[in-house]
Chains A and B, each alone.
Chain A
Amino acid sequence: MLTTSPHLHIRRPSPTTAEFTVTTRPQMTIPLRLLLALVFLTRLLLGTAVLLLLYSKWTQSPYATPLAVPPAHTPPPLLSTTTLLLNLKTLLATPLGLFLSNLASHTPVWALLPPCLAALYLCLHRVHTTESLLVLRGLGIQTSSTGGTVLTGTSTRFIPTEKICDVLINEAFRGFEVRYYLVVVVDGEEDLVVVFPRLLPGRKIVEAVWRGVRGCLCEGEKDGHEVKS
């Protein structure tokens, strides 16, 4: 519901430029936006709860130093470690905090850590994957791909035209299937650059992108070739 199967958007701002975007993000509608906001909130709450749980487990362990709270009559500055620790202490005193510290004290570390880490991963995991290929005639092509988690950014790679030997479609075994993929053969590099490496869209999309890239990169050449991988 939140994601769709990979689909292709082609943007051509000028005759010499084309951007091919493959994404799992569906068309944004109001219910979908609301749903995404709800998902975001849930993940935020879940993340906070997990962090709090881990913190309370830490405070209960013998390695933790007891919190040295300075006297209350001098309020510490807002952006300081002391404020943070004080807030954490107040949070732990709330019913939720009490429940969590109770839970932490009753669960051994080996049982607590894996679910917590899994929950954290779930909170940080990106919902949609978007990968794109930007072709600029005379300059080169740039591939970009969003990271797997919210923390990692988009990774991009620019290949100048003179370095591009060929752009082609190939087939390969992956897991239990055979997949089509688009590759750029780069001069002087042993490995091929796979375009859309995470989504690996199907033959239809890959072929459309291939034709588009050929048409945009090689001016004058008609893009009506037979696909030969």
Chain B
Amino acid sequence: MPDKTRRTYNIAMVSDFFFPQPGGVESHIYQLSSKLMDRGHKVIIITHAYDGRTGIRYLTNGIKVYHVPFLVIYRSSTFPTVFSFFPMFRNIVLRERIEIVHGHASLSSLCHEAILHGRTMGLRTVFTDHSLFGFADAASILTNKLLKFTLSDVDHVICVSHTCKENTVLRASLDPLMVSVIPNAVVAENFRPLSYEPPSKTSTTYNTAHKPNNQASFIHPNPPPPRLHLGPHDTITIVVISRLFYNKGTDLLTAAIPRILENHPNTRFIIAGSGPKAIDLEQMIEQNVLQDRVEMLGPVRHEEVRDVMVRGHIYLHPSLTEAFGTVIVEAASCGLYVVCTQVGGIPEVLPSHMTVFARPEEDDLVAATGRAIAALRAGKVRTELFHEQVKSMYSWTNVAQRTERVYNGICGDISEGEFYGYEAANYPGGNSWSAIRGRSGVQSFALIDRLKRYYGCGIWAGKLFCLCVIIDYLIFVFLEIWFPKNKIDICPDWPRKVLKEKDPRDGVR
């Protein structure tokens, strides 16, 4: 232990979505877990069993994954049986000595159940929301009610963008103070531009060759990469990589492509991804006879995304709703100029010099793409510098640090004032939330306090939720009698890593 005051935790990440299934939530959980392991915490992942992936497995880095056998109903979400997961969950939590339950994704019923049971067992709980939802349609109302149920009694919520935070706060009627924003990150090493040299190599040659003056080489460790030149007649390739669904804006894309290609002669499109809207795109290509200028690649694996991206100059992202949009960060990291719709959390993601924004409508998207092409041809955009900039903005290490601070806050290791802000903590007479939160800045585990929180969820829902919580508590008592704690084997821990140095530069933002 380099630092006596620093505390490490045993954390359980719970979500229905995990590898071998590919996706954003899945890789978020994996990256966050492995970086938390690097910081000396113990992390296990609880998910349901996939085909050919059951039982208990170890990943590299010593992350332990429990693939709990469960029934899958819809798009790899499990059937929401409120209590059936409890005995197994309790067993896992006790044998791994878990202190913090961290659930991911609001469509995962496993995560909601785990948070409910975790609170019943007296554990700290965190929930990370990865998506935006509407308020109007029936499915959203149901999901929002379920979310409200779970989040009535959770210690802290993490959202991936400020838009997502706003959405979640409204959907679950949360106190905004207990919602933090920690964005996703990308592994920048996996998304390098085509002609990229690692900076360490470049800087050493630069230093040894002709630099006795250390001061200058310290300020500019790498020479800027050579500027890319695009003549007025060079072909500009526009890349689109997305699942071809309605919410990803494929209809917008179908309408915009012929107009863009008509306005700009030396341009072509590469479209990767699959989905129900692929047929519309193909029809559009047939009708306008654009086979030689639009290339459709079909589905690509995540590790091949970079190879597709580096073939282009502009990345077009026509999505209609997006909580964060990791893919545009990946595109910028590959050195692509990004044209995207100004929806959801997208405007927060990249600085303005890397993006051209459009309203989510056909005319504006065409105009924005035209502006981007013109800027590239004029050489106004230094896309070759994007990679280093993205690399310094987004790192999983930083995400892990900020998540760790949330853990510190809910466990009471840093003071309420430091965690929630001094104004909120010392707000005179402002007991509207501190009555719920308790005096030490942490939520009370007493059953009556929990029931108070659930009761406010609605006229009927409140009573129903209270009933669920009481039944959950009774099951807990029964389990304590039937499967006593001392009969459960304790797992040996994977050798923990020791956090080496504390870099003052990458402090918590």
Q: Which residues of A contact B (CB under 8 A)?
A: 170-173, 176-180, 202-204, 227
Whether A171 lies near B91 (C-beta < 8 A) is no
Whether A171 lies near B56 (C-beta < 8 A) is yes
Contacts of B56 in A (CB 8 A): 170-173, 178
Q: Is B498 in the interface zone, CB < 8 Å from A? A: no
Contacts of A204 in B (CB 8 A): 489
Measured between C-beta atoms, what is the minimum distance from B142 to chain A in Å? 29
Contacts of B492 in A (CB 8 A): 227
With A203-B489, A203-B490, A227-B492 as contacts: A176 and B55 at CB distance below 8 Å: no
Chain B, 31-87, CB within 8 A of any chain A CB: 54-56, 66, 68-69, 87
Q: How far is the CA of A177 from the CA of B489 in the complex (A)?
A: 10
Q: How far is the CA of A204 from the CA of B68 in the complex (A)?
A: 24
How many A-B contacts are there with CB distance less than 8 Å?
34
Whether B87 lies near A176 (C-beta < 8 A) is yes
Q: Residue on B with the closest CB to A177?
A: B91
Contacts of A176 in B (CB 8 A): 87-88, 91, 483
Contacts of A172 in B (CB 8 A): 55-56
Q: How far is the CA of A173 from the CA of B69 in the complex (A)?
A: 8
With A178-B56, A178-B95 as contacts: A173 and B88 at CB distance below 8 Å: yes
Measured between C-beta atoms, what is the minimum distance from B482 to chain A in Å? 9
Measured between C-beta atoms, what is the minimum distance from A209 to chain B in Å? 14
Whether A178 lies near B87 (C-beta < 8 A) is no
Contacts of B487 in A (CB 8 A): 202
Whether A202 lies near B55 (C-beta < 8 A) is no
Residues of B in contact, count (CB < 8 Å): 17
Q: Residue on A with the closest CB to B57?
A: A171
Given A176-B87, A178-B88, A178-B95, 12 more A-B residue pairs with CB atoms under 8 Å apart are: A171-B56, A172-B55, A173-B56, A173-B88, A177-B87, A177-B88, A177-B91, A178-B91, A178-B92, A202-B487, A203-B489, A227-B492
Q: Is B300 in the interface zone, CB < 8 Å from A? A: no
Chain B, 470-509, CB within 8 A of any chain A CB: 483, 487-490, 492
Q: Residue on A with the closest CB to B64?
A: A171
Contacts of B489 in A (CB 8 A): 179-180, 202-204
Whether A173 lies near B68 (C-beta < 8 A) is yes
Q: How far is the CA of A176 from the CA of B487 in the complex (A)?
A: 13
- Please pick, from B54, B69, B483, the residue contacting A177 in the complex, using a CB distance under 8 A: B483
Q: How far is the CA of A170 from the CA of B491 in the complex (A)?
A: 11
Q: Residue on A with the closest CB to B87?
A: A176
Measured between C-beta atoms, what is the minimum distance from A207 to chain B in Å? 9
A-B contact pairs, 28 of them (CB 8 A): A170-B56, A171-B56, A172-B55, A172-B56, A173-B54, A173-B55, A173-B68, A173-B69, A176-B87, A176-B88, A176-B91, A176-B483, A177-B88, A177-B91, A177-B483, A177-B488, A178-B56, A178-B66, A178-B88, A178-B91, A178-B92, A178-B95, A179-B489, A180-B489, A202-B489, A203-B489, A204-B489, A227-B492
Measured between C-beta atoms, what is the minimum distance from B31 to chain A in Å? 24
Contacts of A180 in B (CB 8 A): 489
**Which of B54, B56, B483, B487 has the most CB atoms of chain A within a 10 A radius of its CB?**
B56
Measured between C-beta atoms, what is the minimum distance from A201 to chain B in Å? 10
Q: How far is the CA of A202 from the CA of B490 in the complex (A)?
A: 10
Measured between C-beta atoms, what is the minimum distance from B113 to chain A in Å? 14
The 3 closest A-B pairs by CB, nearest first: A176-B87, A203-B489, A171-B56
Measured between C-beta atoms, what is the minimum distance from B470 to chain A in Å? 21
Contacts of A170 in B (CB 8 A): 56
Contacts of A179 in B (CB 8 A): 489
Q: How far is the CA of A172 from the CA of B54 in the complex (A)?
A: 9
Measured between C-beta atoms, what is the minimum distance from B489 to chain A in Å? 4
Q: Residue on B with the closest CB to A206?
A: B489
Measured between C-beta atoms, what is the minimum distance from B122 to chain A in Å? 20
Q: How far is the CA of A41 from the CA of B483 in the complex (A)?
A: 33
Measured between C-beta atoms, what is the minimum distance from A49 to chain B in Å? 34
Q: Residue on B with the closest CB to A202?
A: B489
Contacts of B92 in A (CB 8 A): 178
Chain B 427-454: CB-based contact to A (< 8 A → 1; otherwise 0)? 0000000000000000000000000000
Q: Residue on A with the closest CB to B85?
A: A176
Chain B, 227-280, CB within 8 A of any chain A CB: none
Q: How far is the CA of A173 from the CA of B91 in the complex (A)?
A: 10
Contacts of B488 in A (CB 8 A): 177
Measured between C-beta atoms, what is the minimum distance from B481 to chain A in Å? 14
Measured between C-beta atoms, what is the minimum distance from B45 to chain A in Å? 14
**Which of B69, B95, B489 has the most CB atoms of chain A within a 10 A radius of its CB?**
B489
Q: How far is the CA of A158 from the CA of B95 in the complex (A)?
A: 33
Contacts of B490 in A (CB 8 A): 203
Chain B, 80-104, CB within 8 A of any chain A CB: 87-88, 91-92, 95
Measured between C-beta atoms, what is the minimum distance from B289 to chain A in Å? 56
Q: How far is the CA of A178 from the CA of B68 in the complex (A)?
A: 10
Q: Residue on A with the closest CB to B91?
A: A177
Q: How far is the CA of A203 from the CA of B490 in the complex (A)?
A: 8
Q: How far is the CA of A178 from the CA of B92 in the complex (A)?
A: 7
Contacts of B88 in A (CB 8 A): 173, 176-178
Q: Residue on A with the closest CB to B84?
A: A176
Contacts of B69 in A (CB 8 A): 173
Q: How far is the CA of A113 from the CA of B99 in the complex (A)?
A: 52
Q: How far is the CA of A176 from the CA of B68 in the complex (A)?
A: 10
Q: How far is the CA of A171 from the CA of B44 in the complex (A)?
A: 14
Contacts of B87 in A (CB 8 A): 176-177
Chain B, 279-303, CB within 8 A of any chain A CB: none
